Structure 1
Amino acid sequence: MILYDSIGPNPRVVTMFVAEKGLTIEKRMLDIVKGENRSGSYLDVRRAGTTPALVLDDGSTLCETIAICEYLDEVHPEPALIGTTPKERAETRMWVRRIDLTVTEPMTTGFRAAEGRPMFEPRMRVIRADAADDLKALAKDGLTAIEAEMGDQWIVGDRFTLADIALFAFIEFGAMVGQPMPGDLPKLAAWRERVAARPSATAG
């Protein structure tokens, strides 16, 4: 397998997931600032130019962050990062979906409309700049809702899962692009420290 990687929260989710699994996968880094993901041979791998992408041994390609993680979890089931029973897997997927809708989407769309606009506007459709503040506020609302419903140890109760990895990658991204986690979320603050202490948090 070959993993096409780059900076950014989505590739970081896969990198952390791979590290938690203890897997070794060949990587090819793309410089997305220079636009390497939107030109040359990478467009034969992923026409939309997004990262990450996982090329399997049979030559087929899997794209989209969560789909890649789901595949790796199925072919390498230990340690279980989604779940070992139908209920556990459903709970993890429920949380991943919540994170995607309430934090990831407004955070990244708000970033592209504001701080990231010079990079993204020539490459894709971005929304009006005056909507950025509302989107960033929505992402904060999402974090507040997660604080109220998450488990005491991890997002999904006492299990470290893909939901923890996904949220951590985007909270760290937000902190770098002017969307820090609100200071009045003590459970999430303690949770973030626990995730940051895991070896996978510094995997590259």
Structure 2
Amino acid sequence: MKYYNSVGPNPRVVTLFMAEKGIEIPEVMVDLRGGENRRPPYNVTVNPAGQTPALELDDGSFLGEIIAICEYLEEIFPETPLIGTTPEERARTRMWTRRIDLKICEPLTNGFRYAEGLPLFESRMRCLPEAAEGLKAVAQDGVAWLDAQIAGRDFIAGDRLTLADLMLFAFLDFGAGVGQPIDPAHTHVAAWYERMKARPSITN
């Protein structure tokens, strides 16, 4: 296999996922800032969506999308399960991952793309600068909602680390660096974030 990595929160989710599992896969760094992902051969051969990350399988085929890549890695490297070992665990992880993606990750990322990231993205995708502040507010609403949901527990989906935690951390950590920090009033999320920052997969 071969892992196509780059800067940004999306590939970082998979990088953290592999680190928590102790997986090492040969890596190719894609120049996202230079637009390598948006031109051939990458957007023809590797990922026609022109996005990172991507995973090249042993048969020469490719997977895109962070959830699909993590699901695949969970199947072939089941040790240190990060999605689940039972139907109930897997469903709970997928439920929380979906909620986090819709309520926080997507609006946070597009809020950045349409504002601070506009010089990089305006030539690559349809950008809506007028929506940036509203999207950032939607992401903060999502964090506020989550704060109440995780009161009294250490992890997002229950009593164990899952893909939901890794996904949320990658995006909130990105947000903290681009003008969308965690409101300290959200004490449960803030405490969770500090615990996540101390994990070896993140500090190494």
Q: Compute the TM-score of the two structures, normalised by the length of structure 2.
A: 0.96
Q: Which residue of 2 aligns with 1:34?
A: 34
In the comparison of the two structures, how many residue pairs are matched? 202
Aligned pairs (5 A) from 1:151-190: 152-190=153-191
Q: Deviations over 1:177-203 (max 9, x none)?
A: 111111101111111111111111145
Deviation, 1:161, is 0.4
Structure 2 SS opposite 1:54: strand
Deviation, 1:40, is 3.3
Q: Which residue of 1 aligns with 2:53?
A: 52
Query: How far apart, in 2, do the equivalents of 1:97 and 1:175 lie?
Result: 21
Q: Deviations over 1:81-110 (max 9, x none)?
A: 011110111000000000000001111111
Q: Deviations over 1:58-86 (max 9, x none)?
A: 01111000110011001111111011110
Aligned pairs (5 A) from 1:75-86: 75-86=76-87
Deviation, 1:130, is 2.0
Query: How far apart, in 2, do the equivalents of 1:147 and 1:86 lie?
Result: 26
Q: Which amino acid aligns with 1:193?
A: E
Identity of aligned residues (%): 59
Query: How far apart, in 1, do the equivalents of 2:185 and 2:177 lie?
Result: 19
Q: Which residue of 1 aligns with 2:23?
A: 23
Query: How far apart, in 1, do the equivalents of 2:3 and 2:84 lie?
Result: 24
Structure 2 SS opposite 1:74: helix
Structure 2: runs of 5+ lacking an equivalent: none
Q: Which residue of 1 aligns with 2:123?
A: 122
Deviation, 1:30, is 1.0
Structure 1 SS opposite 2:27: strand
Task: Calculate the aligned-residue CA RMSD, in Å.
Answer: 1.0
Query: How far apart, in 1, do the equivalents of 2:38 and 2:133 lie?
Result: 28
Q: Which amino acid aligns with 1:2?
A: K
Structure 1: runs of 5+ lacking an equivalent: none
Q: Which residue of 1 aligns with 2:148?
A: 148
Q: Which amino acid aligns with 2:180?
A: Q
Q: Which residue of 2 aligns with 1:14?
A: 14
Q: Which amino acid aligns with 1:26?
A: P
Q: Which amino acid aligns with 1:105?
A: E
- Higher mean alpha-carbon deviation, 143-152 vs 26-35, is at 143-152
* Divergent runs of 4+, >4 A: none
Query: How far apart, in 1, do the equivalents of 2:132 and 2:112 lie?
Result: 7
1:133 pairs with 2:133:
yes
Structure 1 SS opposite 2:12: helix
Q: Which residue of 2 aligns with 1:99?
A: 100
